[in-house]
Structure 1
Amino acid sequence: MKANDLLNVRHANLADARIAMTELLENRRPNYSLDAPLYNDPHMFRLDMEEVFQKQWLFVGMTSEIPKKGDYFTIEVGQNPILVLRDGEGNVNAFHNTCRHRGSLICTEHRGKVANLVCPYHQWTYDLKGNLLFAGTEMNEGFDLKQHGLQAAHCKTAGGFIFVCLGKEQPEDEFDDFLATLETYMEPYQVENTKLAAESHMYERANWKLVLENNRECYHCNASHPELLNSLLEWDDTNDPRAPQEFHDHYNEQAAQWDAEGIPHLHQSFGEKQRNRMVRMPLKKGTHVMTMDGKHASKKLLGRIKNSQLGSMRILHLPNSWNHMQSDHFIVFRVLPISAQETMVTTKWFVHKDAVEGVDYDSDNLRHVWDATNEQDKVLGERNQLGINSIGYQPGPYSETYEFGVINFLDWYADTMLKGLK
């Protein structure tokens, strides 16, 4: 078969997949899980990548990971390698990590520091703003350096969070409102005065939506997460319909202390189906942070924080991040799809930049609860995927009380996909 014929077949398959996905999403039963192809079909996965991960704002990392000029990190969004770095003016920029000469990767390491960006293939050289500085003497006289700078990706920061959008145009939504509130809610932590203390990359044999679904409910927590429930209250937020009066009394007591210190805590949500959300939640009485004993993981509190019982400020950003901000450290989670049934979950722990490992904090203690929880969730997600792959699978009902977060997520996903597919 000739190349053009193969291309036509590929396009035909995608066109068929668009029609099939539209039909599945338009006819899906409300408050039920999705049909199997939406969790395991490669063509529908590609549509997920095109309509969600190549068009929506994605969380990629924290500004304190690249504190100085020339610091960078790289990520892969499907088949799209991305480079995030800080320029000489202190701005955070994002570029497609592909040389304008013949497309080679420019930065091949996960993290690093550069004076300029030099492609290792033919030494084309770019500055930290993506401008092409050098292309050798072999190019013809009419070659214009200015026309061959790196392809930029949209990049925004707020409260120390870095978001990237790979689309030609930025989505028209309430994202900037979310960023403004995120800036306010993150102010007490002074993220620029933190540092990355630990990082894990967990490969999970499950569709990215199953990873998010699992995160959006704690229905499974009692049976699966003993370490996490040493400190975490299972209620999703202050509006959780399951929460008893005892919880509200505990929250009100803690909130009075937060108000006295000027610490934001009220539930805030933005976008359709609470796509972006933040709320400060107390931890169990007597615990300070998410460690096995509930005691501090680091001796140095973050930013201007004085009250060690700050609970956890939970920040959700669909499609790929959830986060826990605490008094002495914070934890961020990033989800990036690999294939229809493979996902990379990255977890990062941050502490005060002056905290010394072995003196102020112990990495094993810092990581223990969420390392265990991540591994438990991996098992759950992979079992979920195996069951969905069965010919016996049929979409099942969600609990509107225990799994309302999952319902919100899938409603957002379905609405987003249908808008893109039409």
Structure 2
Amino acid sequence: MQKYVLNTMDDPLVAARESTANMLQTRERTFSLPQPFYNDARLFAIDMQEVFEKEWLFAGMTCEIPTKGNFMTLDIGDNPVVIVRGGEGTIHAFHNVCRHRGSRLCVKDKGKVAKLVCPYHQWTYELDGRLLFAGSDMGTDFNLDQFGLKPVSICTAGGFIFINLSDNPPPMDDFLETLEHYLEPYQMDNVKVATESSIVEQANWKLVIENNRECYHCNGAHPELLNSLQEFDDTEDPRATPAYKELVARKQADWDQERVPYQLTRLGHQNRLTRTPLLDGIVSMTMDGKPGCKKLMGRLKSPDMGSLRILHLPNSWNHFMGDHAVVFRVLPLGPQQTVVTTKWLVHKDAVEGVDYDPEQLRRVWDATNDQDRQLAEENQRGINSKAYQPGPYSETYEFGVIDFVDWYANRVLENLGYEAPTLHLAQG
């Protein structure tokens, strides 16, 4: 089929791409990015094309679509996507676009269907994307086989669903294998979403991620979170105290007995997994530090599992404890607008009101998310000023931010077709 391409001679993005590459190649590595990376509409379009349409994105959890016909939807910029469980438990992802005249097929966030039916003209698709019905008015020569839904690359591991909108997704087998290993004790086929929230932050998506990648701000901003969370998660962290190192050694001996992985694993700058203790005597990210769910996850016998921290760039961070887990998904809405979705997971047999109270479960992260929203929005307001210029990151407290910006810069350069510099992971 013929592909139509607009003349790009006067495309403002052509010049913006060259300018973007130049800024990334000449940036000061341990400084924040130049202003356009945080507020320019042309650069945001490049982010969507070169990051969110080419990298593997965290989309949701397999437990959200537990049986045949269950679906969920999400938007990657202007690209609506539907994820559906088909026959024999297979999970499919498609562009949520009817092949007739382009209407969205599924208009709800989630639901259950026998078939995928376009609400506009009732074209009907099998759950594997095949077109089954287009009405009799298309003519006798109309070939249903030529108009199936356009697939989106998808993979799953450890209960996580990842999608990729590109035609040639990069490999991520090492991460999937590692994720399966770390989440084996949680038996992720036996979890459910207890409650969830979505908040819109008036800030660029990179500011949302940068804020997450450091706890430099935690003492001044997150009293609820610091009731349970250690500000660092690595004994090699220059800030790690002797008391923390002793606690880690004690807890790791316990986790060895439970056959639970805890080693720090880094897969480049994009993925990071590690288990670290919560504060001594604290077993969960709740206001009182006690379990938020009476029924523990998976095969775990003790609630005192610390926090398994999982990072997947560009759009997810996660905390897995003994009694529940908290997973986060970040999706850009505009140059200065981002939606952060948080889901609290518990054992699928846990009973609301008996084993857990959703309000108690989410109180710490509801407060923390709102505090982070305010921080990111004030960061954005300051960056929009003509007075802003890139400032230095602390290599002690903000090495995670440096790693994120390195990853971002390299991926954009490579996806734009430019050579990226060789970088080393920051300490921690």
Match of 2:75 in 1: 76
Match of 2:122 in 1: 123
Distance 1:163 1:217 in 2: 25
Match of 2:324 in 1: 329
What are the ranges of 5 or more consecutive residues in structure 2 without an aligned counterpart?
A: 418-428
Residues 197 and 363, structure 1, Cα contact 8 Å, conserved in 2? yes
Distance 2:9 2:263 in 1: 49
| 1:182 maps onto 2:179 in alignment | yes
Distance 2:140 2:64 in 1: 41
1:15-414 maps to which residues of 2 (within 5 A)? Answer: 15-172=14-171, 175-271=172-268, 273=269, 275-414=270-409
Aligned length: 413
Offset at residue 118 of structure 1 (A): 0.3
* Secondary structure, aligned partner of 1:163: strand
Residues 59 and 334, structure 1, Cα contact 8 Å, conserved in 2? yes
Offset at residue 9 of structure 1 (A): 7.9
Distance 1:379 1:292 in 2: 21
Distance 2:9 2:368 in 1: 40
Distance 1:286 1:248 in 2: 15
Q: Which moved more, 1:22-31 or 1:236-245?
A: 236-245
Distance 1:238 1:300 in 2: 31
Residues 41 and 340, structure 1, Cα contact 8 Å, conserved in 2? yes
Offset at residue 241 of structure 1 (A): 2.3
Distance 1:55 1:282 in 2: 35
**1:237/1:103 CA distance change after superposition, 3 Å:** farther
Distance 1:10 1:294 in 2: 60
Offset at residue 246 of structure 1 (A): 1.3
Distance 2:180 2:235 in 1: 21
Q: Which moved more, 1:191-200 or 1:222-231?
A: 191-200
* Secondary structure, aligned partner of 1:337: strand
**1:258/1:164 CA distance change after superposition, 3 Å:** same
Residues 233 and 274, structure 2, Cα contact 8 Å, conserved in 1? no
Match of 2:426 in 1: none
State the AA in 1 paired with 2:174: D
Residues 81 and 96, structure 1, Cα contact 8 Å, conserved in 2? yes
Residues 153 and 164, structure 1, Cα contact 8 Å, conserved in 2? yes
- Give the TM-score normalised by structure 2: 0.95
Residues 76 and 82, structure 1, Cα contact 8 Å, conserved in 2? yes
Offset at residue 411 of structure 1 (A): 0.5
Distance 2:358 2:282 in 1: 19
Distance 1:241 1:46 in 2: 38
Aligned Cα RMSD in Å? Answer: 1.2
Match of 2:423 in 1: none
Distance 2:266 2:61 in 1: 21
Residues 238 and 281, structure 1, Cα contact 8 Å, conserved in 2? no
State the AA in 2 paired with 1:166: L
Residues 233 and 275, structure 2, Cα contact 8 Å, conserved in 1? no
Offset at residue 236 of structure 1 (A): 3.9
Distance 2:9 2:67 in 1: 44
State the AA in 2 paired with 1:353: K
* Secondary structure, aligned partner of 2:332: strand
| 1:416 maps onto 2:415 in alignment | no
Residues 217 and 236, structure 1, Cα contact 8 Å, conserved in 2? no
* Secondary structure, aligned partner of 2:136: coil
Distance 1:239 1:60 in 2: 32
Distance 1:76 1:19 in 2: 28
* Secondary structure, aligned partner of 2:410: helix
Distance 2:145 2:293 in 1: 48
Percent identity, aligned pairs only? 58
Distance 1:126 1:112 in 2: 16
**1:377/1:113 CA distance change after superposition, 3 Å:** same
Residues 86 and 128, structure 1, Cα contact 8 Å, conserved in 2? yes
Offset at residue 244 of structure 1 (A): 1.4
Residues 333 and 346, structure 1, Cα contact 8 Å, conserved in 2? yes
* Secondary structure, aligned partner of 1:415: helix
Distance 2:103 2:47 in 1: 26
Distance 2:238 2:310 in 1: 19
Distance 1:237 1:75 in 2: 34
Offset at residue 10 of structure 1 (A): 9.2
What are the ranges of 5 or more consecutive residues in structure 1 without an aligned counterpart?
A: none
Residues 246-304 of structure 1: per-residue CA shift (max 9 Å, x gap):
11110110000100110011011113x2x111000100011110000000101100110
Offset at residue 240 of structure 1 (A): 2.1
Residues 196 and 341, structure 2, Cα contact 8 Å, conserved in 1? yes
**1:393/1:249 CA distance change after superposition, 3 Å:** same
Q: Which moved more, 1:387-396 or 1:142-151?
A: 142-151
Distance 2:347 2:9 in 1: 50
Residues 300 and 352, structure 1, Cα contact 8 Å, conserved in 2? yes
Offset at residue 331 of structure 1 (A): 0.6
Offset at residue 349 of structure 1 (A): 0.4
Distance 2:397 2:152 in 1: 38
